[in-house]
Amino acid sequence: MTTQTTPSTPAVAIMQLVHKIDHGLDYIYRIFGYICGTLLLLLGIYITYQVIMRKLGGPVLGNQELIGGYILAFAGTWAFSYSLRTGSHVRIDVLLPLFSRIHPYMRSAADWLALGSVGFFGLITAIKTWEEVAESRCIRTNQAGECEPALANTYLIGNFLPELWMFQLIVAIGFTMLAFTSFQWMLSMIVRGLLEIWHKSSGGDVAELAPVSEIAQEGGSAV
């Protein structure tokens, strides 16, 4: 039987809310990560089938380059947030060992600089991509005064000629998610630090600021 404890200070209640938001966002990122990973796996199987059938003279599907590009545009950008949060991205630290020798806080400063750079890159790319989406939706105006969208130069399926903004929109959303993840992560760390200072000044224990699941596990192990 589990008992629900009442937060001792307002800082604990706010910290629990921050943990819930972070865990909820991580759950969403994980879903997108699994979806994108599955699509990349299926794309690899699809390309392997195409190559083998071409060698054996068997039936092949058309527009494999176009379909592969669209899948990469979705899976490659919508999984950025998952990779960033789980540390699955490639990070090259050249000066980090030197920074650590100079001062312990230099490593934290380098981490913040790296995270802020990722957010800035995602934000700038998202803004430019959204501008491309708006431009592609109305590339010119016909005689009736209606906007005509930019069309792709290759048919996707049958006689369906897709509009470019549809796929640019996918990339724009992906980079928007990356920028949001970076800045939300930085904001969450700032709020956690301030709440820890507030809780300590109120005479509280730092262990109370841990997620509820961790506190429950510690309580169960103690019993």
Please give the residue that has the higher pLDDT: either 35 or 89.
Answer: 35
The pLDDT of residue 115 is above 60: yes
Least-confidence region, from 75-89, 93-107, 112-126: 93-107
Which of the four pLDDT bands, split at 50, 70 and 90, describes residue 9? Answer: confident
Q: Which of 20, 16, 4 lies closest to 199, judged by CA?
A: 16
Provide the CA 189 distance to its chain's centre, in angstroms.
17
Alpha-carbon gap, residue 8 to 34, rounded angstroms? 38
The pLDDT of residue 177 is above 90: yes
SS3 (DSSP) at 5: coil
- Count Cα atoms within 13 angstroms, Cβ side, for 120: 6
Least-confidence region, from 42-56, 175-189, 206-220: 206-220
Please give the residue that has the higher pLDDT: either 63 or 26.
Answer: 26
pLDDT digits (tens, 9 = 90+) for 52-66: 988 888 887 767 777
Q: Where are the alpha helices (DSSP H) in 57-211?
A: 64-78, 80-86, 96-102, 104-137, 164-201
pTM assigned to the model: 0.81
The pLDDT value recorded for residue 201 is: 83
The pLDDT of residue 217 is above 60: no
The pLDDT of residue 90 is above 50: yes
The pLDDT value recorded for residue 93 is: 64
pLDDT digits (tens, 9 = 90+) for 132-173: 999 988 887 777 777 788 877 776 666 777 788 888 999 999
Q: Which of 59, 44, 190, 174 lies closest to 122, judged by CA?
A: 174
The pLDDT value recorded for residue 37 is: 93
